[in-house]
Chain A
Amino acid sequence: MPELGRAALIVCLGLALYAVVAGAIAARQRRQRLAESAQNAVVASFAAALLGAAVLFTALVQNDFSFVYVADHTSRELPLGYTISAFWGGQEGSLLLWLLILTGFSAIAVLLARRSAASLLAWAVPILGGVITFFAFLLVAVSSPFATQAAPADGAGLNPSLQNPYMLAHPPMLYLGFVGLTIPFAFAMGALAARRSDELWIVVTRRWTLVAWTFLGFGQLLGAHWAYVEVGWGGYFAWDPVENAALMPWLAATAFLHSVMIQEKRGMLKIWNVVLVIGAFALALFGTFLTRSGIISSIRSFTESSIGPWFLGFIGIVLAGSILLVLSRLPLLRSKTRLESPVSREASFLYNNLLLVAFCLTILWGVLYPILTEALRGEPVTVGPPYYNFFLKAFGLPLLLLMGIGPLIAWRRASLRGLGRTFAWPTGFALACGVVLVVLGAGSSIPGLVGYTFCAFVLASLVLEFVRGTRARHALGSSSWAGAFSSLVARNRRRYGGYIVHASIVLLAIGVVGSSAYDTIVDQRLRPGDTLSVESYDLRYRGVEDSRGANAQEIRAVVDVSRDGESLGTLRPGKNRYFAEQQVSNEAAIRSDRLNGEDLFLIADQIDPDGTLFLRALVKPLVNLIWIAGFVFLGGAAIALWPDAREQRRLAVRYGRSEALARA
């Protein structure tokens, strides 16, 4: 069995190397048959990776402890679901998952592009092959999941904090995002290497970026929800390096998805777009490296990691190679047009891009800061949440505002009078909302007030866009308003899908602002029978319940919750003491209000033997909008991604000629 796994990975490595060499020769000498053979090698490498993954999967499910990896990450008692999630619970397994997804995506991309963008494939294949080679090499030579040993009686088990349903979905989701960014990179570089100066690569790349970006975004929200519900400190994002690792490529990809429209419509920002694609891919590699190499704790631990130096080397090669390629193709990338006015849709996209990239760099700087200072001064200096939160406000609030301006402002050049007409309604609505909010007491946080006012502005301009579009459709003869609305969305999936994603970001912003700028935290020492009022809630501590669960002793503080004398139920925050792992975990209790999206979040910081409870109570207004935003986000992304026959035909006409030329 392990031999089969090892052999599969070696075959995968061989196929990938072949794709690099044969693909490059075929592309240089324009040899069609050889090029097809290299493409087939990429597809076949997926089969090899799949076989390797199947071997590890079988070993995990069968508790085959002669595999070092299985023995280190599972045990006999571990439930089946977590045994499967142990696949990505350790380094070797997660690398194998990377390889599996990478070869899978590559195979799909190659098969799809054969029909629609064959000329781009020539150089994309060797580049995909190169990335596959790197991961296959790591798995074969540096960090093999198929190392064997004399089987111990039982395995070491999985870390309890990873024994959680979210860990089944959250890491694969993030990997789908990280890995997905490889495809746009390969096609962008392929187009440059082939000296293609048209926008065909953008068409291929945009869809793949959108897919990867959707997985990455949703995966992050899953992680945030896991942190909120399970880790139990009352927050959902802590600017932890591992969280930042996923946020950075997502921001870069977000910037690309916007600026790409400028290139499609106006032929501008070509260099910038290529740089964003390279940046997103490099950040995805860097993110994998961050979560897997241990560089965060210190440089010292970095040198101990077996794959760290390899990753760093590969990122270096990727950056150096792609920058050289961009520099050598600069004449091809010259813009056809120039920015005509700083008040136009192009310009607002440009500002949006600058803000997104600036924020991305800010986070990168914060992540690298301890490493840089340790290298320069000998002692690492860390920056904490205040640093990130400051820049989130400094860059995030203007971004929010732009989200309301961008979709409405005219292309090329917007006149002041036009602006007044366009924005009269949203501005009026936002100002009215602001005044109402001040009256309601939202003035206690200025960033919060500004954030909410901007949210109102964006929502109003989004609604305005939908209303105008629907009205136009209706006037064109749609029978019903609902029919007009659905045909509006169906005919412009990218545009209106994008607007729905914007709406989800507004929901997210409302949730984040509400739960961070307007939250209440109370710490109180309570004896049984004591009461405590937090905002509109009256809490009464009844006493301690102590029960024995399957694998842990469960201690719970029983707290009755009521409002104005009306009972809202009983919450049981507490702690679990795990027998086997000798570990204590905090079990927070949450009451969500369906009507206003507010959470009452109780943490039993400490429960003394005499029944004294140190309770931390948090009231988080609107926090549930964050989770709803996740589903709206998915919906919007799905609409934008849905294949559109009309658009395909448009593109076929537009690029068909150049494609035919390239083939000739």
Chain B
Amino acid sequence: MLAVFLLYTSIAGGTPQLRPSELNGRTGEITIVGQVVAPVQRSGRTIRFRIKDVQGSSTVRLPVAYTGSVPDMFKVGRDISLKGRLRAGTLVGVPGTLVTKCPSKYSSKKT
């Protein structure tokens, strides 16, 4: 019973997590995970940049617009995850959802 309950809320409350190359014009709310590519432009509280797949050879560079506070670790080359929706080819981020992935904490470096 508990499992059913949890499954239900998960489906209702969860958002799919995608890579930039997997987006294919989806317009629902998604979480995107990618690597920040230069240049990063700021205008007021909005920043614009592009992200690419963290791994693989895809050439997709997805434009992102995000308004709100940006975490400390944010910079070109960093892996980030962000919630948002696709609007006219640009992923518009939900404020407060931009998270940088901390490389030291998660990965076992060199493999």
Contacts and interface: CB of A to CB of B under 8 A. Distances in A.
Interface of A: 72, 89-91, 143, 159, 161-162, 231-233, 242, 291-294, 296-298, 300-301, 304-307, 358, 361-362, 365-366, 369-370, 373, 379-384, 386-387, 390, 525, 582-586, 603, 605-606, 614, 616
Given A143-B108, A381-B15, A605-B69, A390 B9 contact: yes
A304 to B, nearest CB: 5
Contacts of B72: 161, 231-232, 583-586
Contact of A369 (B10, B18, B79, B102): B10
Nearest to A380: B17
A523 B96 CA distance: 12
Contacts of B18: 379
Contact of A72 (B22, B73, B109): B109
Given A361-B2, A583-B75, 20 more contacts: A72-B109, A161-B73, A292-B108, A293-B108, A297-B79, A297-B106, A301-B107, A307-B108, A366-B10, A369-B10, A379-B22, A381-B14, A381-B15, A382-B17, A383-B14, A384-B97, A387-B14, A525-B44, A525-B45, A605-B70
Interface in B70-100: 70-73, 75, 79, 83, 97
Interface string B18-50: 100010000000010100000000101100000
A-B pairs, 10 with minimum CB distance: A159-B104, A381-B14, A380-B17, A585-B72, A605-B69, A294-B107, A294-B106, A383-B14, A91-B108, A365-B6
Given A91-B108, A294-B108, A379-B17, A387 B55 contact: no
A602 to B, nearest CB: 12
A264 B16 CA distance: 47
Contacts of A379: 16-18, 22
A298 B16 CA distance: 13
A506 B55 CA distance: 46
Contacts of B42: 606
B101 interface: yes
A382 B31 contact: yes
B75 A89 contact: no
27 contacts: A89-B104, A161-B104, A162-B104, A232-B72, A242-B105, A294-B107, A294-B108, A297-B33, A297-B79, A301-B107, A305-B111, A365-B3, A365-B6, A370-B17, A379-B16, A379-B17, A379-B18, A381-B10, A383-B9, A384-B15, A384-B97, A387-B10, A387-B13, A525-B44, A584-B75, A586-B71, A605-B45
Interface of B: 2-3, 6, 9-10, 13-18, 22, 31, 33, 42, 44-45, 55, 68-73, 75, 79, 83, 97, 101-109, 111
A381 B17 contact: yes
B69 A301 contact: no
Contacts of A365: 3, 6, 10
Contacts of A603: 69
Nearest to B105: A242
Contacts of A369: 10, 14
Contacts of A361: 2, 6
Residue from B10, B44, B55, B109 whose CB has the most chain A CB atoms within 10 Å: B10
B15 A382 contact: yes
Contacts of A381: 10, 14-17
A365 B10 CA distance: 9
B32 to A, nearest CB: 11
A372 to B, nearest CB: 9
B65 to A, nearest CB: 15
Contacts of A91: 108-109
A370 B14 CA distance: 9
A90 B16 CA distance: 31
A586 B70 CA distance: 9
B101 A297 contact: yes
A291 B103 CA distance: 11
Contacts of A390: 9, 13
A379 B33 CA distance: 12
B10 A383 contact: yes
Contacts of A362: 6
Contacts of A366: 10
B28 to A, nearest CB: 12
Contacts of A583: 72-73, 75
A585 B10 CA distance: 34
A586 B100 CA distance: 14
A232 B22 CA distance: 33
B92 to A, nearest CB: 18
Contact of B55 (A143, A232, A300, A370): A300
A161 B71 CA distance: 12
A365 B3 CA distance: 9
A232 B104 CA distance: 19
A603 B83 CA distance: 22
A232 B73 CA distance: 12
Contacts of B102: 159, 161
A636 B108 CA distance: 38
Nearest to B18: A379
B24 to A, nearest CB: 11
A155 B72 CA distance: 23
Contacts of A293: 108
Contacts of A616: 69
Among B17, B33, B71, which residue has the most Cβ atoms of chain A within 10 A?
Answer: B17
Nearest to A364: B6
B10 A358 contact: no
Nearest to A230: B72
Contacts of A72: 109
Contact of A305 (B9, B33, B108): B108
A296 B102 CA distance: 11
B106 A296 contact: yes
Contact of B111 (A291, A296, A304, A614): A304
A525 B31 CA distance: 28
Contacts of A304: 107-108, 111
B10 A582 contact: no
Contacts of B44: 525, 614
Contacts of A584: 72, 75
Contacts of B2: 358, 361
A585 B103 CA distance: 16
